[in-house]
Structure formats: structure tokens, C-alpha cells
């Protein structure tokens, strides 16, 4: 949960920047005996590739993943699973005009203040390409979760201010924008066209659910399941808000309307809590939403400063997506899966899962 | 960030349940030479005491804190600072009727599912009394932050669905409900009376700001400052949502309206980002909001089950607050302070703070 | 394994210095349902009390331990177990002459260089009193280990250069010096008398064994069981060397004489390895030895410098033991137990213990 | 310090097994601005290559390292530094006869007991090839240490029971067996020939020193510098004992002979302590020794069992070294460097280095 490693027992460490030799990561702590092929990672990675849905850049990357260690005869061995994707199609010169300028709304400024230097090309370490490591690791986490009957899904439920009318997460990957609802796709496409015409960008909301999570995951105080999920999801680029269950609406509810009555058999009459009570899973569906801000790279003139502190104006061209959605959707799913895998292993220490 | 310890370099481990011998904690990693007296902790703890504002319980606790180690001649020594508050005024019998029943909306169920057993008295480890450890630790963190010119403030900005009209965090501790705005207090009091009459409870929203945070705190990937703050704040009991800067409103904005233009001298023309870009502080005010759900203990009849799975109805009497607000406000401040103290020390490793 | 916390899943954080208000610790991560009473901790702590064996100081401390949290009805609850011992009988004035002087062979110098300040009284945080937290935590760890059929024992096998002739760890607590062999006690007593007459101090060797450890504990690379044990034991004050199994003698052996042939049924024909191969327990007895240097506080004139860098001579009076042995013996046992408890919980994540 | 990650602030995570696609690692937490080229890593790795000194295998591996991330224009950027070495020249068939057999003295047995499965080829994760990740990471650590004037050296001081007569660590890499003394090389070569004739293997002792370490590194209780070094060194394959300073000889000394008198100017009259007092560096040379057991793979008939528990005899052929020395010498240096780099960054949090 610090620096470049996430998780306590099921841990991923990612590496790589957009214009270095490769990006990837190491999953450490994955139990032995899980079926795992490069195809499993590739399938997940292909979901975050450019060209998916109407908001993406035309940039082409093959993003072929290779597993370097940790499997034998198609099974995990319990040792670290390293994987990488070689960076191709890097046109560093695209970024030459940005060399000495801080882009508004971007990590540039803070990164430079932090380290006193930066690799300005394509966002460097702050590039969305870093999420390749997360998505591949999430796919491994899902292999573990599957053995416990747990599955995780994410979908877009709002784009450019237009919410979905209904929510079906399972089919989202088959729809444009990874939408939870086919009926809004046309309106979203119009909204995207409009933004593109305005040289502007859009934000939206991503919903993530976890099904089949047994009651008892999460720790009562600092390792609360909702706290870990909030950490994981807020740590995705462009996310500015996270809600569990009713979220901010719960702040306006009363106790009598917000409480979820328990029913015999471990069921509940409602799920305002989003499947987590006191930081521990209740056995209901885990439900969370994340606010994704509009991408900060816009093809409009903006005021900013250069590294010498002088005011300048920039116009960020290059091959940029119009929204982090839908390419970030698999990242939300992956981060939620990583948290749940970690919590599942943590719970096993108690001899109760 | 797991189990009962929070932080990487500036770390607090809390202990205690509502009806055990004592609650408290150990702050480990606090640098040497900071002035620290028991009065500093006491002052912070008194802010979370019952009886503050109109939403609190009449229960009386003196909550006198004692420092057990880590200071010498009024200064921190760099060694662990342990502190504790003895639990008094425990009427365990108040909870006898809850012994075999799970309270809706409460941690009871998950806790029991996790451990297969529980201390049912007053919420056990999930009790709000655990936050004594956090608030005292936060007061120590603020001593460190003060040496770097950083201060943290929290206040209530919405209660029972009624938002404040203006925001002044600095004076909040002098107002009922720790309100950011004196003008709404009367309306909140009426809302509280109404809820009390209905045997119901209320939620609200707490805003936290950090001033004077230098640019560069936070790590680019998994230790993002916003991710750590989200972890810290979502890990407070009853919190169901966290926003940084414009939060969910940013999801509906466009890039051109959401970007904060940089100005010469490290300033910005706006602060939609809430002081954090790419997970790293920008030098602007850090701003976050948390949704606090209504307290689940209501004096109304509710459907639930007992530990044998049989349906029962309960009515939770006892000495319960009507809202986690305002007593949770100092906890929000403390958790934010703990994150910033940790990040400040982490940044020092780079030789740049 | 850093700062003041030891362990990953079964963790202890200790606090306290010799002349503060109290010493103690928090055990976090201990599973629920273990029988635990204050008497269990007291019994272990009494073994490290002054006055045990012929090498100890006449200083009297009652060292009564109190459990502050984490148990209910005599069972652990899975929540943090805090405990403390109030510091009594502190004659700070005993240390006034040491206020500005660095004692040779002591932590004084490094501590002062580290923090730029120090609590000079009784060694401050470097005092052997800190081990109260370790011994109490170790007693809790042993409760967990007992459920898995694991027991840990330590004993003195050499004092002042005189080794034991035979080794019986089980009965050691009943013998002077916690000796593994009654037959050397007389010679050790003579050696101690001689050292006392010379105003000098003695070192020795402590052996620790763990019985009933199942094969498979320990991680293959950085969490090797022997590495963790070495960390734990070398981290005890005055320890300058650690050996596993044949230790340094193995460096002089050949492969054919050092290998332990496997026998059917999980047995081995010998145990040169000390029960650990490739960092993982083999199912044989875990065996390690630690070199304990002579206590540095001697009642002889020694050359040193003061905090201004000026050369001075000191003679360390006060109530000092003649050897860390035997009072450190329970600390060795405790640290080994803490490692094993942690490794046992870590192994459970794999679903194989 | 657990699983496959070592260090708290300067961290390395290694991956890879002898017969997977690649071995390597990620160094996370390395500060920005250090000069770093692939040649720096290659130079260190070449020191652990087969064919160095008279005790090594004839197996040929080019072991060309590639940096995948974390540098830009020849400088570290503060982001994760990933590197890898492709595994070549893998003759898996060499290991076919070992598929169902546990080799005495080897990690086979424990590994299989731990995971219930194993990659038997070449030791799998327990292979010495894993140390490629450590050595490369150590070279990066040395870049950081150099900025603080710290250097680390290791050399062989005993082989097959024959100790060196004098110790010069600086020139060791230029001598056969990485010997600290040229005068013993001939005797060692004779000893190796004899062992080879007997189809046997040899152990020895490796000494490591760190020069220029400032006083104040290390934490007073669980993060003691000597404890971390012991953890690091005992975690190297084949190490069965670790000594700091006088080590086991200190157990036979008296306080008056073992104490190192302080002299004006931060100097000491002797260094029995090996540069560490109370777990904190004193400013003197850090000195430690490690006992390296003879390699367990011997070309002699040995009794063992197969995975079905049946007694069998094996004779381990293949391309095995005669001793872990000298190829392990760079690993000792690397591990010590990693500890010191971590401690150096940890100390910076206090604003005192």
C-alpha cells in the first residue's frame, strides 16, 4: 500500500513508465496450484487496449504479455509471478514540446516537485500504461478468487453527465464504453462527439461489484475492507471520489431507512451498506462507485508555467483518449480483485476460510 | 494499513474495546525533539467526548489520557509513544439484551462471521472508543506537521440533509455540531429534535482540509496521497464515501473546466483537484469530504436475526448518540494528520523536504 | 521487523524505557479463541526477573503485568492484546553521573548519534526492560504454537567460557543460570565469583530449540525461517552471533558428512541442518545457538569520552547484572516463539496448515 | 523481509527460478538522480558467474542483464528499477532423475512440504540463480551508498577448514576464490582437488565489511542494524551462522576485554563490537562473518526417499559447483549493501543524515 507495492499477502509490485523498455510487475504471495496461462493475462489486458469504445485514442499497441516466472506446467507454483509487456510504438518526439512545461491537471507538477526531475515523455511513471501491471495482476487475483466462488465486475454507469437507466455489469464488456446499459450508448456517443468537437474531454462514473464474497473478510480497524477498497480505487489515475453502497446518499438518510434488516439464512432485506458493515464483508454483494474526472490533456490552449516558472500557454496534442473511460474500467475491476484476494488470504490466517 | 497498525514510517497501532480495561495506542516512528505533553493529547480527546453538540449521548466519561513512554523532559525521544485511557463507567448490563442478537447496520454480524465469536458489549473492538487511540495519535502527528508549517482542520458541512451555506473550518470547534457555518446550527438543532422524536438517527458530511502542505508529498503509484487519505477516512466508522476536491462533481465536468491552470510562483488559478494531482500534493490546500451514514443504533423496533439464525425484533436502547457527527469530526482530522505525517517522513527519504 | 514492530501476521509492538511510566506492548494478529490469562504472561515474565541465578542484580522489581485489551472471558478475541508493566523502583539518581558520558560497549553512543539526544537513565529504550514486552508477547505466541503442537525451549549451554557437558533444555528453568546441564553449575558459580571479584562481567551461549514444528514453515527467499530466526535472535541485546544447526562447524564439514539423509516417514538420519533446509522447516527439531557478549557495564575504570568529546574515565556502578545470562534466556525463547507463530500464520494462507 | 521482498524503504523484490523464462527483480524506493547503467549491474553480476575461481561449475551462462524501467538519460528517476536476465542454456533433462526424489541437504523436501508441489528443475525458486536479482539490486544499493561515502566489500576468509593468514578485502575480486589472502590460494586449490576426487563438496567462511558507515544507522529495538544484517546474510543459501565483530569469541570474553573504549573525535580504541552497539552503527567499520555450509549436491551415492516415501539412493550428477564459495561472495556483499541502503534512507526520516 505504499510506494509501488500493493497488498499484504497477495502483493503486486508494478514497474515501468510509458517510454521505458517495458512495463509489468511481480505478483508475490499467490498460492500454488492455480491454473494460469499468458492467455489469461492477455485477455484482461486486451480489455484496456486503445480502440475500445468511442472515447479512445487511435494509437496502436499490441501489448503482448509474457510471463517470466512463477508457473510450471500451466499452474502457479507459489513463487513470484513476474510478467512484462514490451513498450512499442513510442514516439517520444510527440512529447518534445512538453519537455519544459507543466500540463494543467496532470501529475507533471507534483512529480517534478517531488523528485526535482522527471521523465516527461508520455507521463512517465504516471502514465496509464502503468496500469498494465495492475490489470495483469488483477487477472491473477481473479484466478484465486474463483477458487472461493468470488467474481468481480466493473462497468461504466455515467459518462459526460449522462447516467445509465439500468445496470447490468455482467454484459458490459460487450458494449461500447463498457456500459452497464445499452440504452444510453447512443446518447454517450453524441456527447463524445460534442466534446471532441470542442477539443474537450469527459469524466464519468464506474461501478464495481463483487459477488460471492463470504461474510468475514476485512479487519475491524485499519484494514477495513471498505478502507482497502477506497485506497485501491482512489489510487487509480483520475479517480476523485469513492462510494460504498449508498455512499453520499447515506449521509442524507436516516438510520431507520439506511439499516439493512437481517433475515434468516445470512440474507438481508436490503443492501444500503454495499455489502460491508464495520469494515467487514456481510456476505452481500460488495458495491462501490468511483468518480472519474475528465482527462486533463485537452487540445485547447491553456495557461500554465514552464519549469523556470514563466507563464506560457500550451495545447496538448498527441494521441490522447477523450476520457479515461472505458479503458480504466478493467483497472477498477483489477484493483478490487487485488484487495479481495489479499483479504481472502488474510482471513485464512484465522483458520476460518 | 492493515490489521491494527496505520502508516509506514509514522505509525500508530491502537488497542482496546469499549468494555475492556483500557483503550489507547502506540505511536512509533515519531521523530525526536517534538514538544509533547499529556495536555496535548487531552485537548484533542476532549473534542471527541460525549456531550459535545446536540447529537451526543448523555454518557459521562472522563477519558483522562496518560502517556506511558517516549517522552523525556517534555520532548519526544524518537522511541515509541504509548498512551492509554482507562475505561470507566462501563455498564455491561446495558448490553445484555444484545448478547445473542445482531444489530442491523452494525459491525456485529461481520465480526461474528469473521471470528466465530465476539465481545458483544458496546460494540467491542468496533466501538467508537477505539478512535481514542486515533485522536491521540493524530495530535502527535500534528506536532510533527506543525514543524513543517502544515495544519489540518475538519468540520461538519452537512447534517441530516441540510448543508452549510459557507465554510469556515478554523472556527468549527467553537460551534455546535463542529459546524463550518454558524448560520445552519438552528436548522440542524431542529432536525436533530425531529429525529430524536422519531427515534431515528442522522448522517452528514465532514470536510477536512490541510493547509501548508508542500508540493511533492505522496507516491506516484500505490502510495498516492489521495489513496492514503481515502484509506484513512473510509476506515473511520460510518463513513461510506470520500471525495477529493470536486469529487463526484468532477465526473460531470469537462477537462477544460476541471483543469487548474498553473500560475507563476507555484500558484494555481483554481483548486478543483483538491490539492492533489497524480497522487502527489500540488502545494494547494488539500480538500476532502466524507459521507457519514446515520448511526445504526436506533430506538425503534427492527427486524433481525439472533446468533442461532432465528428472526427476532430488537430495539436498541442504551446511551447512543443520534449521529456520529460531531464526535467523529476530530477523528477525521486525526486520520488526515496521520497520513500527512507519514507522507512527510516518507518524502524526507528523498532528501527533498 | 523494523522500528518497534516485529512480525508480519503475528506482530508485537513494544514500548517503554527503563525510567518511563511503564513498559509493555501490543500483540496484533493473534487469532481468536486461545485461552489467555494475566497469569500466563506473569509466569513468563517472572523467569526474566532479577534475582534468578547467580549472575543477577539485587534490584527488586515486582513487574506485575496487566492485560488491557483483547481478551474476553479468558479467551483471546482476535483483537489487539495490549499489556503493560508499571515501572517501579526507579532510582534515576543512580544514573546522574552518566548523564554526559558515553559508556564503552553500550548503546549510549550510537543512540545519541542517531537522535542527537537521549534519555540516559538506565539505558532508556535500550534497557533490558524493553524485553518485558517481548517475553509477554512470546508467551502469547506460545499459546498459539501449543495449538499446533509446537513448543520452544531455551537454556544456557556455556558461561564464561565453560560449556555444558550435556544438554537438557526441558529442565533448564529449574536450574541455576537456566543451565542445560546441572553438572556445570558449580564451575559457573566459581567463574561468576571470580568475575565479580575482578569487577568484570561474563558472556556465554544460549541454545534454543523448537519441537513439533511441521515441515513447510518459512518462505523460500527473503522470509526464510532461519533468516527470520537470525533476525529475531540477533536483535536481542548483547547477542553477537547466531548459528543454526551445526553453524560454523558446518563451514568446516564436507557435503557428504553434513547432509542429513532422509528416511521414510518424514524422518532424517541426522540433524546437522538444525531443522531448516533452504529456509523451510524440515519437520526436525529447530536448533539454534546465540553468542551473548559480556555485559558492558563494569565496575572498573574505563576510558571514554563525554558528550562534548572530551576524554574522561568512568566506573559504572549501580545495580547491574554480571551477565545477560540467565535473564536473557526467556527472551531468546520468546523471540523464537514469535517467529514461529508468525510463520505458522503465514503458512495458513496457503491452505496447507 | 518476508516472502520475496527485502527492505522497508529501499526494497528489492526478486523473481524467477532456474528453469523459467527469466530471473530478475524490481528495486523500489531508490532515490532519483543516481547514475545507473546496465554496465553497473553487469559488472556485479559477472562476479557471481560460473567459472570464477577453482570451485565452480563449467556451465556457461552469459547472464546479460537488461534494465527495463526506472532510469532516464543514465540517471535513476525515483521510480521502480526493473531488470532481468533471460535464462539460457537450460538442460531440464539433466534433472529428470530428480523429478520424484528429495536430495539430502537440499530445499527439495521443505519446498514440497510447503507447497505440496514443486518445480524440481535445478532447484526451482531455491536455485542460486535467484541471487541474480539480489546482486543486481545490491549494485544499485551501492550507488546510493556511494553518495554517502559508504562502501561494502566481501571476501572468502576460510575454505575447507583452511583459514586465511591475513585479510585484505579490497583486492579479493582479483584473487582466486575471492580470497582475502593470496597466500592460502594454493592450499585451497589442493583442498578443492582432493574434495573433487572424493566426489565431495566444501564449505567456508565469508567476511563482509562496510566502510564509511556514519554513526546512527539502525533502530534501537526490532530494526537493529545487526539484526537486519543477520536476517540478510542468514537468508543467503547455505549460510548456517552469522557473527558480528568478535561474534562467538565475544561469548568467551570478559566485559573489560570486550568493551571498545571511546576516544575523542568519534574514534574507538578497538572494534570488538564490529561497528554496531545496541543495534546502531558506531561509526567504526561494520564487520561480519558468515558460515557457508558445503554444497549438498554431491556426486556420491546417498540415502533418501522419493515423493512416495520409499527409500531410494541417489547420486546427484549434473553441473554443480564444488562450493557455494566463491560465487556466493558477491551475494553477501549485495545483501549487506541492501541493508545499509535501507537503513540510510530510514535514518533520513529523522532529518539527521
Cα separation, C230 vs C224, in Å, equals 10
Cα separation, A134 vs A335, in Å, equals 7
Band of residue D306 on the pLDDT scale cut at 50, 70, 90: very high
Answer whether D163 touches A (CB < 8 Å): no
Cα separation, B325 vs B114, in Å, equals 28
Who has greater pLDDT, A2 or D302?
D302
Who has greater pLDDT, A61 or A176?
A176
DSSP label at residue B144: H
Please list the alpha-helical segments (H only) found in chain D: 38-46, 108-115, 131-147, 185-197, 225-234, 255-258, 329-348
Report pLDDT for A117: 83
In this structure, what C-alpha cell is assigned to residue C186? 558449580
Question: In whole angstroms, what separates CA A14 from the centre of its chain?
Answer: 14
φ, ψ of residue D142 to 5 degrees: the values are: -65, -30
Answer whether C235 touches B (CB < 8 Å): no
Measured between CA atoms, the residue of chain A closest to residue B244 is A240
Cα separation, C121 vs C91, in Å, equals 9
Report pLDDT for B348: 94
Answer whether B13 touches C (CB < 8 Å): yes
Given an 8 Å threshold on Cβ–Cβ distance, is A78 in contact with C350? yes
Residue C150, C-beta contacts closer than 8 angstroms, at least 6 positions apart = C210, C211, C212, C213, C214, C340, C344
The per-residue pLDDT for range D243-295, each reduced to its tens digit, is: 999 999 999 999 999 999 999 999 999 999 999 999 999 999 999 999 999 99
Band of residue C124 on the pLDDT scale cut at 50, 70, 90: confident
In this structure, what C-alpha cell is assigned to residue D239? 549460510
In this structure, what C-alpha cell is assigned to residue A269? 432485506
Cα dihedral D110→D114→D116→D120 (10° resolution)? -50
In this structure, what C-alpha cell is assigned to residue A186? 447512443
Answer whether B350 touches D (CB < 8 Å): yes
Report pLDDT for A23: 96
Given an 8 Å threshold on Cβ–Cβ distance, is C349 in contact with A351? no
Answer whether C245 touches B (CB < 8 Å): no
Region B244-269 average pLDDT? 96
Closest Cβ opposite residue A9 in set C32, C79, C349: C349
Report pLDDT for B123: 75
pLDDT at residue A234 tops 90: yes
Report pLDDT for D61: 56
Burial class (CB in 10 A: 0-12, 13-18, 19+), A89: exposed
Answer whether D32 touches B (CB < 8 Å): yes
Answer whether A13 touches D (CB < 8 Å): yes
Report pLDDT for D286: 98
Given an 8 Å threshold on Cβ–Cβ distance, is A220 in contact with B293? no
- Chain A residues touching residue B111 (CB < 8 angstroms): 220, 278, 280
Given an 8 Å threshold on Cβ–Cβ distance, is A28 in contact with D16? no
Band of residue C347 on the pLDDT scale cut at 50, 70, 90: very high
Burial A133-156 (b: 16+ CB within 10 A, else e): bbbbbbbbbbbbbeebebbbbbbb
Report pLDDT for A99: 81
C202 close to C179: Cβ distance less than 8 angstroms: no
Check residue B352 and give left, alpha or beta (phi > 0: left; psi -120 to 50: alpha).
alpha
Angstrom CA distances, A198 to A169, A192, A319, D86, stand at 31, 10, 16, 49
Find the length of chain A: 353
Band of residue C3 on the pLDDT scale cut at 50, 70, 90: confident
Measured between CA atoms, the residue of chain C closest to residue A341 is C349
Percent of chain A with pLDDT over 70: 92
Given an 8 Å threshold on Cβ–Cβ distance, is B223 in contact with A282? no
Burial A51-79 (b: 16+ CB within 10 A, else e): ebbbbbeeeebebebbbbbbbbeebbbbb
pLDDT at residue A309 tops 80: yes
| DSSP conformation letters of C295-308 | PS--SSEEEEEBTT
Closest Cβ opposite residue B351 in set D8, D31, D220: D31
In this structure, what C-alpha cell is assigned to residue C115? 537522535
Angstrom CA distances, C53 to C88, C139, C290, D255, stand at 22, 21, 19, 19
pLDDT at residue D336 tops 60: yes
pLDDT at residue D54 tops 60: no
D23 close to D132: Cβ distance less than 8 angstroms: yes
pTM comes to: 0.96
Angstrom CA distances, B266 to A276, A305, B216, C206, D109, stand at 41, 9, 12, 60, 60
Chain B: closest CA distance from residue D149 (Å): 16
Closest Cβ opposite residue C203 in set D14, D109, D250: D250
Name residues 303-332 of chain A within 8 A of B (Cβ).
303-305, 309-311
Percent of chain B with pLDDT over 70: 92
The per-residue pLDDT for range B158-185, each reduced to its tens digit, is: 999 999 999 999 999 999 999 999 999 9
Name residues 51-110 of chain A within 8 A of D (Cβ).
66-72, 75, 77-82, 84
Region A58-86 average pLDDT? 89
Report pLDDT for B126: 84
In this structure, what C-alpha cell is assigned to residue D101? 526424489
Measured between CA atoms, the residue of chain B closest to residue C87 is B68
E strands within chain C?
A: 5-6, 11-15, 22-28, 65-67, 71-72, 75-76, 81-86, 151-159, 162-163, 204-211, 239-244, 262-263, 267-268, 276-277, 280-281, 286-292, 301-305, 311-315
DSSP label at residue D183: G
Given an 8 Å threshold on Cβ–Cβ distance, is D349 in contact with B220? no
Q: How many CB pairs under 8 A join B and C?
A: 144
| Three-point CA angle D106, D108, D111, nearest 5° | 125
- Chain B residues touching residue C125 (CB < 8 angstroms): 77, 79-80
Band of residue D218 on the pLDDT scale cut at 50, 70, 90: very high
Count the neighbouring beta carbons within 10 Å of the beta carbon of residue B71.
Answer: 24
Q: How does the average pLDDT of chain B come out, rounded?
A: 92
| DSSP conformation letters of B18-34 | TTSSEEEEEEESPPTT-
pLDDT at residue D235 tops 60: yes
Q: How does the average pLDDT of chain D come out, rounded?
A: 92
Indicate which of A2, A144, A350 best probes the interface with C, i.e. most C CBs within 10 Å of its own CB: A350
Cα separation, D281 vs D216, in Å, equals 5
Closest Cβ opposite residue C310 in set D234, D264, D283: D264
In this structure, what C-alpha cell is assigned to residue D312? 531410494
The per-residue pLDDT for range C13-51, each reduced to its tens digit, is: 999 998 899 999 999 999 999 999 999 999 999 998 766
Q: How many CB pairs under 8 A join C and D?
A: 400
Q: Which of A279, A322, A296, A325 is CA-nearest to residue A157? A: A325
Angstrom CA distances, D37 to C1, C64, C311, D24, stand at 32, 59, 47, 16
Q: How many CB pairs under 8 A join A and B?
A: 400
Measured between CA atoms, the residue of chain D closest to residue A30 is D3
Measured between CA atoms, the residue of chain C closest to residue D287 is C240
Measured between CA atoms, the residue of chain D closest to residue B347 is D349
Band of residue D51 on the pLDDT scale cut at 50, 70, 90: low
Angstrom CA distances, C205 to C156, C325, C329, D243, D342, stand at 6, 8, 10, 13, 30
Percent of chain D with pLDDT over 70: 92
Place of cell 432465528: B310
Burial class (CB in 10 A: 0-12, 13-18, 19+), B148: middle
- Listed range (A35-49, B24-38, B208-222, C121-135) with the worst mean pLDDT: C121-135
Q: Which of A4, A111, B223 is CA-nearest to residue D30? A: A4
Amino acid at each position: 500500500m505504499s510506494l509501488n507495492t500493493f497488498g499484504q499477502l497477495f502483493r503486486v509490485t508494478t514497474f515501468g513508465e510509458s517510454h521505458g523498455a517495458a512495463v509489468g510487475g511481480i505478483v508475490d504471495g499467490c498460492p500454488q496450484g492455480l491454473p494460469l496461462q499468458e492467455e489469461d493475462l492477455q485477455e484482461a489486458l486486451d480489455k484496456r487496449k486503445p480502440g475500445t469504445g468511442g472515447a479512445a485514442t487511435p494509437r496502436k499497441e499490441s501489448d503482448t504479455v509474457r510471463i517470466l516466472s512463477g508457473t510450471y506446467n500451466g499452474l502457479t507454483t507459489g513463487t513470484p509471478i513476474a510478467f512484462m509487456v514490451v513498450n512499442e510504438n513510442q514516439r517520444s518526439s510527440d512529447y518534445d514540446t512538453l519537455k519544459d512545461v507543466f500540463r494543467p491537471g496532470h501529475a507533471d507538477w507534483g512529480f517534478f516537485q517531488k523528485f526535482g526531475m522527471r521523465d516527461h515523455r508520455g507521463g512517465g511513471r504516471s502514465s496509464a500504461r502503468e496500469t498494465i501491471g495492475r490489470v495483469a495482476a488483477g487477472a491473477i487475483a481473479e484466478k484465486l478468487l474463483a477458487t472461493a466462488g468470488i467474481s468481480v465486475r466493473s462497468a461504466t454507469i455515467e459518462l459526460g453527465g449522462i447516467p445509465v437507466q439500468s445496470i447490468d455489469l455482467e454484459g458490459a464488456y460487450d458494449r461500447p464504453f463498457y456500459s452497464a446499459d445499452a440504452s444510453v450508448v447512443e446518447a454517450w456517443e453524441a456527447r463524445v462527439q460534442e466534446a471532441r468537437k470542442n477539443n474537450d474531454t469527459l469524466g464519468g462514473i464506474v461501478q464495481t461489484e463483487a459477488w460471492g464474497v463470504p461474510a468475514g473478510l476485512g479487519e475491524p480497524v485499519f484494514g477495513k475492507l471498505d478502507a482497502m477498497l477506497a485506497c485501491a480505487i482512489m489510487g487509480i489515475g483520475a479517480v476523485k471520489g469513492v462510494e460504498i453502497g449508498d455512499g453520499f446518499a447515506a449521509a442524507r438518510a436516516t438510520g431507520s431507512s439506511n439499516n439493512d434488516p437481517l433475515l434468516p439464512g445470512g440474507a438481508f432485506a436490503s443492501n444500503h451498506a454495499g455489502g460491508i458493515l464495520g469494515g467487514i464483508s456481510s456476505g452481500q454483494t460488495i458495491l462501490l462507485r468511483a468518480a472519474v474526472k475528465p482527462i486533463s490533456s485537452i487540445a485547447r490552449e491553456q495557461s500554465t508555467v514552464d519549469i523556470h516558472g514563466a507563464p506560457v500557454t500550451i495545447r496538448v496534442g498527441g494521441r490522447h483518449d477523450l476520457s479515461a473511460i472505458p479503458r480504466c474500467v478493467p483497472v477498477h475491476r483489477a484493483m478490487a480483485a487485488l484487495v479481495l484476494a489479499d483479504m481472502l488470504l488474510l482471513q485464512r490466517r484465522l483458520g476460518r476460510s
